[in-house]
Chain A
Amino acid sequence: MSDFFTMSILVATVASGIRLATPYLLAGLGETVGQKSGVLNLGVDGVMQLSAFFAYWTVLETDNLFLGSIVGVVVGIVMGVVYAVVTVVFQAQQGISGIGIFLFGLGFSDLMFRRQVGTPRPANQLPELPIPILSDIPVVGEALFEHSALTYLAFAMVPLLAFMLRSTTFGMNIRAVGENPQAADSLGVSVAWTRTFAILIGNAMAGLAGAALVLELGIFQPNLTAGLGFIAVALVYFGAWRPAGVMSGALLYGLVAAVVLQWKAQGIIPRGASDIAAMAPAVLTILALVILAGRVQAPSALTRPFSRH
C-alpha cells in the first residue's frame, strides 16, 4: 500500500481517472440537456459506438484527428435527427426507441468495421497538450493539465452548459418544455423545436464522446463502448440533472476505476478478489443513486411526448 502513496503513482492515478471520466462526462452532459427537455435517450451507447467507428475510420484514412472528431460529432447529429423524428415527430415511446438506436449503432458500426477495415489497425492517437504555465505547477500540473484537447473540452463544457441551461432563453425554454410542456406551449415556446435542438445537442456530445474514446485509444473494435453510454445515462440521475453533478459522478466513476487498476497492478487487491473489485465503480454509483433517490427531482415531463390534442 505504501507504494500507492508515492507522488508519481498518485499523479498517474488521478490522470488515469480523468482520462477514464472524459467519455462519461461528454455523453452524460449531452444526455442532461436532452433529459432537461423531457427526452430520455437510451441510445447514447449506440450513438457513441457509431461515432467512434466513423471517427476512427476517418483518422485511419486521413491521419487528421481534428477531422475525425468533427466526423464523430456529425454522426451524432445525424443520429439525433433520426431520434428526433422518431420521438418528437412520431411521438414514439422514448425508452424503446432509444434501445432501437442503441442496437442500430452497435450493429451498423460492427458491419461497417468489417466491410471497411476488417482487422483492428492502429490509427493516430490524440496527443497530450500540456497547458503552458498550468502544467508546470508541481504535482497538480501533471495530473490535471497534461491531457488531450477533447478532455479539456469536456470539462470546459460543464460551466458552459450550466450557464446555458440556467441563464439563456434557450436554456430556460429547454427547462420549461421538460417541466411543463403545455405551459411552455401556451407561452409561445415551440416544444417540438426546443426538444429537437436539445436532442441534437445531446447526440452531438454523445458523438464527441465516442470520438474521444476511440481517438484516445487509437484503435477500434466492435462493441468498443462496452456499455459506457448506459453508465453515462445513470450519471445524469446521479448528478441530479446538473452539469456539475454529472461531472462529479463521471470523476467518481473514473477515479475509482483508476484506483482499482492501480491497486491491482501493485498487488494490493489480491488476484482472487480481482473480479469483485472490478465492480467497485458500478457499485459505488448504484449506492450513490440509492442515497440520492427521493432527494432529487427529475424533469416532470421526462419521457412524456407532447401533443396539443
Chain B
Amino acid sequence: MKLTRHLLRLLALLFSFALIAAACGGSDDSSDSGGDDSSSDSDADSDDSDGESSGGDTISIAIVAPSASDDLAFTQSMIDAIEALDRDVDLQITDGTFVVDDAAAAIRGYAVDGVDVVIAHGTQFGGSLAEIAPEFPEVTFIWGTSSDTQGLDNVFAYFPAADEGGYVNGVLAAAVTETGNIGVIGPVEAGDAVAYINGFEKGATDSGDVSVAITYTGSFSDVALMAEAAQAHLSNDVDVLTGSSQAVVGAVGVASENDIPWFGTQANQTSLDENLVVASQVYHWEVVLEEMLALRDAGTLGGEAFEVNLENGGLEIEFNDNFELPDGAREAADAAIEGIIDGSIDTGA
C-alpha cells in the first residue's frame, strides 16, 4: 500500500514535469529544431546564398522578442530582417516572452552560450540589458526600439521613424474615407505605436477635412479588446481603420466583416484580408542591422543608435494591388514620401 502511494506520487511528479516541459516547448525555437519555423527558413536562406554572401564566416544571432515570431507585426519584422541579411546566419529565437524576467533569462542564456549577437527586440528589455551587457563585453547586444544605447559600448540601438509611414498612411486614409471619420487603435501610448499614430493623424488631417478618433486599449496582447475597440469606432460612423501592435488581428477581423479598408504597420498585413488592406508600413531592420554587423566586423561592438526611415529604405510603404485607390491617392502618397525625405513635410514627430 505504501509502495503504491509512493509510485502514485512519483507519477504525479513526472506528470508535473511533463506539463512544464510541454509548456516551455512552445516558446523556444532554435535553428536545429527543424519543421517549418522561421529559424530553419533562415538557415535555408543561408544555404541558398552561396557565392553571394558578403559577410564571410557564419555569425550566430539570437533574437529575444515579446510576441510570436509570425505575428504579422513587431516580432515578425525582425525575423524577416534577419532572413534578408546578406550573410550566413545561425539564428536562434526565443519569442513570446511577455514577462520581462523570462526575456532577461533568455538574453543572459544566449550570452553565456557565446552567441555573437543577441537582439533584445523590445523597449521593455532595456533595464535587463543594462545589467547583463556589461558582464559580456565580447557579445554585441542589439536593442530596440530605442534611440539610446544607455552608454554601453557593446549595445547598438535601433528605432523606426514610424511617424513617417504613419503620415503616408494617413494621407492615403484621407483619400479613401467617404464619411470623413477615421478610426485608430493602439496598444499603450508609447514607443513606435504612438509615433505611428501621431504621424497618421497628422497625415490625415493635413490632407483633408477629416476627423481621426484614436483609442489606446491599454494592452499589447488583448485581441478581443482590439476587436471591440474597432466596433466602437464603427458605431461612430468610421469607414477607415488602422492600428498598431500584434493584437490588431482582432481589429482587422472586424474591418473584414464590415468591408472597412485597413492600413497596416510594422509588417505587411495584406494576408489578413487581400481585398481590404490598402497599404502597410513595413520595417526593414536589415538596413541598419547590416551597418551594425559591419561595424562589429571592424571591431566596434556597439555604442551607436540607428534609425530606419523612408530615406534609408528601412521603412517602406507596401501597397496592396487588389485594393483600388481613388484617383490621385497614390500620387498624393508618393508626394508625401518625397516631401518627408526632402524635409519639406513635417510629420509632427
A residues contacting B by CB (< 8 A) are 3, 8-9, 12-13, 16, 19-20, 23, 86, 89-90, 92, 97, 100-101, 103-104, 106-115, 118-122, 125, 213, 216-219, 221-224, 226, 228, 257-258, 261-262, 264-267, 271-272, 274-275, 277-279
Q: Which of B15, B36, B236, B256 has the most CB of A within 10 A?
A: B236
Indicate whether A258 sits within 8 Å of B232 (C-beta atoms), given known contacts A115-B35, A264-B215: yes
Cβ of B298 under 8 Å from chain A: no
**Nearest CB in chain A: distance from B205 CB, A:** 14
29 CB contacts below 8 A, A to B, read: A12-B231, A12-B235, A13-B235, A103-B20, A110-B68, A111-B25, A114-B35, A114-B68, A114-B70, A119-B72, A122-B253, A122-B272, A216-B224, A216-B227, A219-B250, A221-B223, A223-B221, A226-B221, A257-B225, A261-B217, A264-B216, A264-B229, A266-B236, A267-B213, A271-B189, A271-B214, A275-B188, A275-B189, A278-B217
> Across the interface, which residues of A come within 8 angstroms of B67, CB to CB?
222
Inter-subunit contact B96/A261 (CB<8 Å) = no
Of A101, A222, A257, A271, which contacts B228 at CB under 8 A?
A257
A92 to B76 CA separation, bound complex (whole angstroms): 40
Of B22, B221, B232, B271, which contacts A264 at CB under 8 A?
B232
> Across the interface, which residues of A come within 8 angstroms of B70, CB to CB?
114, 118-120
A92 to B16 CA separation, bound complex (whole angstroms): 10
Of B12, B68, B216, which contacts A274 at CB under 8 A?
B216
Describe A's contact surface by its main secondary structure: helix
Indicate whether A277 sits within 8 Å of B218 (C-beta atoms), given known contacts A120-B249, A266-B213: yes
Cβ of B52 under 8 Å from chain A: no
Inter-subunit contact A107/B25 (CB<8 Å) = yes
A275 to B271 CA separation, bound complex (whole angstroms): 30
A104 to B20 CA separation, bound complex (whole angstroms): 6
Q: Which of B16, B19, B69, B253 has the most CB of A within 10 A?
A: B19
**Nearest CB in chain A: distance from B112 CB, A:** 23
**Nearest CB in chain A: distance from B307 CB, A:** 25
Cβ of B257 under 8 Å from chain A: yes
Cβ of B37 under 8 Å from chain A: yes
**Nearest CB in chain B: distance from A17 CB, A:** 9
Inter-subunit contact A110/B222 (CB<8 Å) = no
Cβ of B116 under 8 Å from chain A: no
Inter-subunit contact A9/B26 (CB<8 Å) = no
**Nearest CB in chain A: distance from B233 CB, A:** 5
- Closest residue of chain B to A119, judged by CB? B70
Inter-subunit contact A111/B26 (CB<8 Å) = yes
Inter-subunit contact B253/A218 (CB<8 Å) = yes
Of B20, B189, B225, B247, which contacts A100 at CB under 8 A?
B20
- Closest residue of chain A to B235, judged by CB? A12
Question: Interface readout for B270-288 with A: 1 if CB under 8 Å, 0 if not?
Answer: 0111000000000000000
Of B23, B232, B250, B271, which contacts A261 at CB under 8 A?
B232
Inter-subunit contact B223/A20 (CB<8 Å) = no
Known: A19-B228, A218-B257, A222-B96. 8 other contacts (CB 8 A): A23-B224, A86-B15, A107-B22, A118-B36, A118-B70, A223-B98, A226-B221, A261-B232
A224 to B253 CA separation, bound complex (whole angstroms): 14
Of B12, B36, B213, B231, which contacts A86 at CB under 8 A?
B12
> Across the interface, which residues of B come within 8 angstroms of A86, CB to CB?
12, 15
> Across the interface, which residues of B come within 8 angstroms of A216, CB to CB?
224, 227
> Across the interface, which residues of A come within 8 angstroms of B271, CB to CB?
119, 121
> Across the interface, which residues of A come within 8 angstroms of B24, CB to CB?
107
A271 to B198 CA separation, bound complex (whole angstroms): 12
A118 to B227 CA separation, bound complex (whole angstroms): 21
Cβ of B54 under 8 Å from chain A: no
Inter-subunit contact A103/B15 (CB<8 Å) = no
A223 to B271 CA separation, bound complex (whole angstroms): 21
A97 to B9 CA separation, bound complex (whole angstroms): 13
**Nearest CB in chain B: distance from A159 CB, A:** 26
Indicate whether A100 sits within 8 Å of B16 (C-beta atoms), given known contacts A219-B250, A222-B68, A258-B232: yes
Closest 10 CB pairs of A and B: A278-B218, A107-B23, A110-B26, A12-B235, A111-B26, A103-B23, A107-B26, A274-B216, A265-B232, A264-B215
A228 to B225 CA separation, bound complex (whole angstroms): 11
Inter-subunit contact B37/A104 (CB<8 Å) = no
A16 to B217 CA separation, bound complex (whole angstroms): 15
Inter-subunit contact B12/A90 (CB<8 Å) = yes
Inter-subunit contact B11/A90 (CB<8 Å) = yes
> Across the interface, which residues of B come within 8 angstroms of A3, CB to CB?
236
